[in-house]
Structure 1
Amino acid sequence: MPLTPRQREVLGAIAQRLTSRPYPPTREEICALTGHSSTATLDHHLARLEAAGYLARDPHAPRGLRLLVPGFQVVPVVRCEVHGQDMPADHTCPSTKEDHDG
């Protein structure tokens, strides 16, 4: 199952936090990192990531997240209007559709 941009963002925030601290972030910290205003919305993303096998959760622990994808790397993405999708930030997108079509 491919990840949505928001799911990638949540997974990336968790992975990034784990590189700077030996323990996972709380739901509130993930909300602050990703701009979610509701932990309920975040819980939906976490449930999808868990179902897809990207992470495991312990519902009884405030920091009960464990990444199951070894070596997950945070890759910045930008929206390419020509392609109509998110692309890696180092992708060189043509400035117009005419440049892309040649």
Structure 2
Amino acid sequence: MNVNTKDILRYQLKSFFVLTCMGILAFWGTLHSPFLYDDAHAIVENPYIQQLSGFQENVGIENIFNRSVLLLTFAINREIGELEVFGYHLFNIIIHILTGLIWYFL
């Protein structure tokens, strides 16, 4: 069987579309959900993510053990949309979909 590049590309685009739609469908209900469980402590009351400008001095991106990447995403979300829940959930969905796509295409 001879498979050409065009067929492979078409298959990969279909896979990309299906996986993206599945991710959106799976997490769609969370977009307007309120903050739950530890979100009050981790996001609303967290002094380290109040202002993005002082993030490096307060947390430091070089220490991976203090969850600095997670805190950085929270700080960016807070800078862009303050405490609007939709932005946090949308960013989380995008991260999950991109992670799934990366694992699929590896």
Using CA pairs below 8 Å that are at least 6 residues apart, which structure has the higher relative contact order? 2
Structure with the higher fraction of residues in helix conformation:
2
| Fold conserved between structures, TM > 0.5 | no
Pick the TM interval, shorter chain.
under 0.3
TM-score, normalisation: structure 1: 0.27
Which protein is bigger by CA-based radius of gyration?
A: 2
Q: As a proportion of its length, which structure holds more strand?
A: 1
